[in-house]
Structure 1
Amino acid sequence: MSLSSLFQLLGLSAIWGGSFLFMRMAVPALGPAVMIELRVLFAAIFLAIVALIIKKKLNLRQHWRTFLFLGLFNTGLPFLLIAYAAQTLSVSLLSIINAMAPVWGVVIGFLWKGSRLTVKTALGLLLGVVGVAVLVGFDASVGWSDSLAVMASLAAALCYGIASNFVQHNQAEGAKPIEPFANAHGSMWAASLWLLPFIPFAPANYMPSPTIALAVVALGVVCSGIAYLMYFKLIVDIGAPGALTVTFLVPFFGVLWGVLFLAEPLSWNIWVGAPVVVAGTMLVTGFSASALFKRKRSS
């Protein structure tokens, strides 16, 4: 991996780790539905501007069903669930639990397509469960009243697992793959439509401060729009397995931002639980650092 790619990877991890911080900051003022509607709308507008500049067609008539599905399971619903959980859970917990997404992806693949479950994969699943149990069960700030928030955060990771299996299934069926940029662009517009029915039930009395407004804009433009562009460039530069490394790095940046900006306590269960979850995710995905560097040297 080149030094440039390494900095891009770290930058993307820092940005996506920051998304949990921004949501934790903005959700008390705006509520989950309004905040996420604004996030996906800002992202969609930003990507539309980029699409015009680089002349990327959306092909909405051909791919609208895929955009609707990904807009629901890869964007709108998981974002909304995380925002709901962010009302009570810390940035650290949100970012670490979200790293369970590849683990859920394997579980969904096993149930849906009968994918093979190896001993290594089973160990990874077990480590993921144990890590989350340590994080939540030994966190003094998480009580029984927060159980719905924990389940919402886990359900958000489950949604990402469903979306990834959907994309893999379409490719296995011989469907022509949709360009990643078009998927990101189209799913953001679809997510904004899926979230509209929740807006009438959102709190009506709120007046966000300039700080909160900037946090929401950053969520949409930086953490969604720019981050997607960085991620796609990384896939081209170092391959999909290398780009997947961001999944393992985001929790550490999430913990760092929570400690630095919100003074969240760095208790022993974070030190123990986070590495266990990340180790489980690495086993499940079959990640190999040596293979990544070999690929770069051979390219």
Structure 2
Amino acid sequence: MRLYSALIGLSLIWGLSFVFIKWLLDPVGVWGTVFLRCSAGALILLPLLWAKRKQIVRPIPWKSLVFVGIFNAGIPWGFIAWSETEIHSSTAAVMNALTPICTGLVGFLFFSIVLKKRQWVGIAVGFAGILVLMEFNILELFRESFIGIGTMIIATISYGFASQFTKKYLQGTAILLVTTCSLFVAAVVGFIGMLFTGTVSQLSGETLGEPVVWISIIGLGCFGSGIAHLLFYYMVKNGSAEFATSVTYLIPITAMIWGYVLLEEPITSNLVAGLVIIFLGVYLATRKPKQVKVL
């Protein structure tokens, strides 16, 4: 019962994250959103990391941790926020469900992972779901609609690259260390992004004093980036990795509900159809074959 409560709670938190991003975009901007959510999440996890500092295996692979922080949080969270300047939070959440598919594709292209025929079919089906979301207007992806759908695809590819890199180079590194360092690195990425876009001034006392900003920072950083990761790894430890990653199927659904209730975003037939097709693609791309019992 506790495992399923954690699963539902995690899906509600991560689904609501897309709404919090939408709320933060106007007052603090794209990279300000990344900076604030990562800083808040890192501050939540830092005391836990300090308490377990003696259990950390040395030497610490700092270069790999920085790399993962950039590609698992800094870049994708910036591009997700950028996407939500043009598309609904619920659409971004549905697109985010492509992550397992992109992880497999990145593994094939850059990490010498062999994909089975079924997995290729799943990848093709998943991207067919994107076409449904775009109402089959593929040319728009290379024009006005790139900021939105295109940037979300880049975000999921970045997630996939970071996942494969972590599996290959950080297998023996403590999850708490990886998560905390990733958030600190991503906070730096967010701050650099603010410097380049000239939006540092948006983090004024007046802006940070707005209730919606604080609610979103706490929701995105403390819950979405901090506590949510602890829930996720609790499910991995006490359940299984497959059970924990099943939250991927629930997040778009909860995000659609949150978007409808809090942002009055429409739940269109194309959105639902695209979600179902992407889910089918994820299932085909990640399903493990049944093992035949030898009598």
TM-score of the two chains, using structure 2 as the length reference: 0.88
For residues 54 and 14 of structure 2, the distance between their equivalents in structure 1, rounded to whole angstroms, comes to 25
Over residues 7-46 of structure 1, what are the superposed CA-to-partner deviations in whole Å (9 max), with x where a residue is unaligned?
Answer: 1111101111111110011112210111110110111111
- Decide whether aligned partners of structure 1 residues 26 and 120 sit closer, same or farther in structure 2, where only a CA change above 3 A counts: same
Amino acid at match of 1:211: V
For residues 136 and 9 of structure 2, the distance between their equivalents in structure 1, rounded to whole angstroms, comes to 31
Preserved contact between residue 5 and residue 234 of structure 1 (Cα < 8 Å):
yes
Root-mean-square deviation (Å)? 2.3
> 2:219 — aligned with what?
218
> 2:61 — aligned with what?
63
Preserved contact between residue 241 and residue 287 of structure 1 (Cα < 8 Å):
no
> 1:194 — aligned with what?
189
- Tell me how far 1:189 sits from its aligned partner: 1.2
> 2:163 — aligned with what?
164
- Decide whether aligned partners of structure 1 residues 229 and 73 sit closer, same or farther in structure 2, where only a CA change above 3 A counts: same
- Tell me how far 1:177 sits from its aligned partner: 1.0
| Secondary structure of the corresponding residue to residue 89 of structure 1 | coil
> 1:113 — aligned with what?
111
> Which deviates the most, 191-200 or 68-77?
191-200
Amino acid at match of 1:165: Q
- Tell me how far 1:58 sits from its aligned partner: 5.9
Preserved contact between residue 34 and residue 186 of structure 2 (Cα < 8 Å):
no
Preserved contact between residue 108 and residue 161 of structure 1 (Cα < 8 Å):
yes
> 1:297 — aligned with what?
none
- Tell me how far 1:120 sits from its aligned partner: 1.2
Preserved contact between residue 31 and residue 202 of structure 1 (Cα < 8 Å):
no
> 1:47 — aligned with what?
45
- Tell me how far 1:287 sits from its aligned partner: 5.7
Preserved contact between residue 181 and residue 232 of structure 1 (Cα < 8 Å):
no
> 1:281 — aligned with what?
282
- Decide whether aligned partners of structure 1 residues 20 and 56 sit closer, same or farther in structure 2, where only a CA change above 3 A counts: farther
In the comparison of the two structures, how many residue pairs are matched?
282
| Secondary structure of the corresponding residue to residue 27 of structure 1 | helix
Residue 18 (structure 1) aligned with residue 13 (structure 2): no
> 1:238 — aligned with what?
239
- Decide whether aligned partners of structure 1 residues 231 and 154 sit closer, same or farther in structure 2, where only a CA change above 3 A counts: same
Instruction: In structure 1, list runs of 5 or more residues that go unmatched.
Output: 292-299
For residues 51 and 189 of structure 1, the distance between their equivalents in structure 2, rounded to whole angstroms, comes to 13
For residues 155 and 111 of structure 2, the distance between their equivalents in structure 1, rounded to whole angstroms, comes to 21
- Tell me how far 1:162 sits from its aligned partner: 0.2
> Which deviates the most, 79-88 or 162-171?
162-171
Amino acid at match of 1:198: G
> 1:4 — aligned with what?
2
Residue 155 (structure 1) aligned with residue 154 (structure 2): yes
> 1:183 — aligned with what?
178
- Decide whether aligned partners of structure 1 residues 58 and 26 sit closer, same or farther in structure 2, where only a CA change above 3 A counts: farther
Instruction: In structure 2, list runs of 5 or more residues that go unmatched.
Output: none
Amino acid at match of 2:175: P
Amino acid at match of 1:254: A
> 2:25 — aligned with what?
27
Preserved contact between residue 44 and residue 188 of structure 1 (Cα < 8 Å):
yes
TM-score of the two chains, using structure 1 as the length reference: 0.87
| Secondary structure of the corresponding residue to residue 62 of structure 1 | coil
Preserved contact between residue 127 and residue 279 of structure 1 (Cα < 8 Å):
yes
For residues 67 and 242 of structure 2, the distance between their equivalents in structure 1, rounded to whole angstroms, comes to 24
For residues 237 and 104 of structure 1, the distance between their equivalents in structure 2, rounded to whole angstroms, comes to 27
Work out the percentage of aligned pairs sharing the same amino acid.
25
Preserved contact between residue 104 and residue 158 of structure 1 (Cα < 8 Å):
yes
- Tell me how far 1:117 sits from its aligned partner: 2.2
Preserved contact between residue 82 and residue 147 of structure 2 (Cα < 8 Å):
no
- Tell me how far 1:146 sits from its aligned partner: 3.1
- Decide whether aligned partners of structure 1 residues 92 and 53 sit closer, same or farther in structure 2, where only a CA change above 3 A counts: same
- Decide whether aligned partners of structure 1 residues 23 and 59 sit closer, same or farther in structure 2, where only a CA change above 3 A counts: farther
Preserved contact between residue 17 and residue 257 of structure 1 (Cα < 8 Å):
yes
